[in-house]
Amino acid sequence: MALPDGLLGSAVRRAQLAAPDHLMEALAEPCGAAGVDRPELYLVDHDGATLTPAPRPAREPDPARALPVTGTAAGEAFTSQVPIGVVEGGRTRLWLPVTESRCRLGVLSVLVDELDEERRRWCTDLAEVVAQLSRTRQQYTDSFHRARRRQPMDLAAELQWGLLPPLDFSCEGVTVAALVEPAYHVGGDVFDYAVNEGIVHFGIVDSMGHALYSAIVAGLVIGTYRNRRRAVTDLVGTIEAMDEAVAEQFGGDRFATVGLGELDVRTGECRWVNAGHPLPFVVRGGTVEEVHCPPRLPVGLGGAPAEVATVVLEPGDRFVCFSDGVTEASAPSGEHFGEAGLRAALEGGAGTPAGAVVHRVIAGAIEHQGGDQRDDATMVLLELDR
């Protein structure tokens, strides 16, 4: 049976007019006209371990209906980014990845009586529409945020998650993947990025200490970064502006280590400045090389102007920056995960998608500590497309 024209357009118009937490209800009628029943959005939690149904109006998230990413058809669709069909009583339940610019938001579940090729394509297109709608509608409601939480989030973490861009992003020329752990009790690590006219601007910040004060300092540093970036200030000037902002507000009692970079995706040239932060790595095939850059003092403590280091990436190369919570993760014996552990994880990730590598590295650092994480572990990875 041929599908009526204009159903996806109708779905978008209905969603735009509906309250943000009525998204799935707004899509039910155009789905029904396409022979697709019971659309339901499952959102991934901050740890990437479970998929929880997005709440409907007057209904809180139901942890009992959450599905583990590991060992379920929903999780397989989420991980593989390929639709998975499961026969249920003569009908097919289709699990479809909900992903926006490579950022994996969750999965869409639908029931279909007659899963022909045309209907399969329509459901795939629907999942693309749901990804775009989810990204925009969640700005106007707390329902999506509540659905992604498996435990209460402390105030410092709330402030810092509010600063972060999407963890994953991809466009022509470059892929960005990042992660901050622990998700619910972060202690000072943040990152940021923006793509402007072929240049990826990116930064990683580790604010002194833990809890609320560190989050406030991190917010000030990221706010300064965005302000200077949007004013087209160069890297050295941006670091100086950060230093002045933190020093003015805290009088030398607080500081943050910072690494800032700019990657030109057209030429592969990557420029980097370092204010007391661990030096980044370039991963080329199975080799890992440190990017040497003279450090200046952390922002907030004054010091000489930053110096710029330059490296040229080739297609397929990865530029990796990280916080000391990765390398200084300590086993019960006192042994650090160290640069050796990080290098080994990056070398072993050759051929593995960028996002999976970041998760593997952070998971390895946490496992090294016996699961008892005592500091933020943050990583940002940029991959120049082949």
Residue 198 has pLDDT above 80, yes or no: yes
Structural fold of domain 155-384: Phosphatase 2c; domain 1 (3.60.40)
Distances, alpha carbon 225 to alpha carbons 128, 201, 300, in Å: 32, 10, 14
Determine contact, residues 316/383, Cβ cutoff 8 Å: yes
Kind and range of the H or E run holding 112: strand 103-112
In this predicted structure, which of 123-132, 155-164, 365-374 has the lowest mean pLDDT?
Answer: 365-374
Closest CA to 377 of 349, 336, 317: 336
**Average pLDDT value for residue range 183-194:** 85
**Domain coordinates of the chain in residue numbers?**
7-147, 155-384
**Which residue, chain included where needed, has tokens 């080799």?**
287
Radius of gyration of the chain (CA): 22
**Average pLDDT value for residue range 117-144:** 91
pLDDT of residue 286: 85
Sheet holding 50-53, edge to edge: 67-68, 50-53, 36-44, 103-112, 91-100, 84-88
Closest CA to 355 of 380, 327, 338: 380
Distances, alpha carbon 377 to alpha carbons 69, 139, 197, 271, in Å: 22, 27, 30, 23
Burial class (CB in 10 A: 0-12, 13-18, 19+), 92: middle
CATH superfamily of 7-147: GAF domain (3.30.450.40)
Span 130-143, pLDDT tens digits: 999 999 888 898 98
More confident of the two residues 131 and 63? 131
Taking all residues of the chain, what is their mean pLDDT, rounded to a whole number? 90
Three-state secondary structure of 146-174: HHCCCCCCCHHHHHHHHHCCCCEEEECCE
**Average pLDDT value for residue range 144-158:** 88
pLDDT of residue 46: 87
**Average pLDDT value for residue range 16-44:** 90
Sign of the CA dihedral with 20 first, then 159, 275, and 228 last: positive
More confident of the two residues 156 and 301? 301
pTM of the complete model: 0.87
In this predicted structure, which of 47-51, 281-285, 328-332, 375-379 has the lowest mean pLDDT?
Answer: 328-332
pLDDT of residue 101: 87
More confident of the two residues 354 and 334? 354
Reported confidence tier of residue 372, pLDDT bands at 50, 70, 90: low
